Amino acid sequence: MALAVRRYRVEGEVQGVGFRWYVREQARTLELAGWVRNEPDGAVVLVAAGEASSLDALERELHLGPRHSTVTSVVRRELTSFDAVDLPPTFMIER
């Protein structure tokens, strides 16, 4: 199993609607490590590490979001396994 690491930037109505909690629960269910946080410009950014198939599943969930969200854009950037060195062992919400 090869470790994959991805950074996502999600835009739309994604703050104040439980988006970070939604992402955390999805990522933990998929056994991913990483973090999610709100950005000052209204976007949500996250870094996740794990199996590529689990990251693909998370990406599908990012496009859906929780019930009261409206996702207009999900931008993915592939990172290196070196970028996973400082990630928490479980998926966390950063404040």
Q: How far apart are CA 55 and CA 39, in angstroms?
A: 21
95 is annotated as an active-site residue: no
67: amino acid identity, one letter:
R
Spell out the alpha helix ranges (H) of the chain: 19-29, 52-64
Catalytic residue among 7, 9, 37, 38: 38
Q: Is 38 a catalytic residue?
A: yes
Which residue is catalytic, options 20, 60, 67, 77? 20
The β-bridge relationship of strands 91-93 and 4-13 is unpaired
What is the C-alpha separation between 86 and 72, in angstroms, rounded? 29
Annotated catalytic sites, by residue?
A: 20, 38
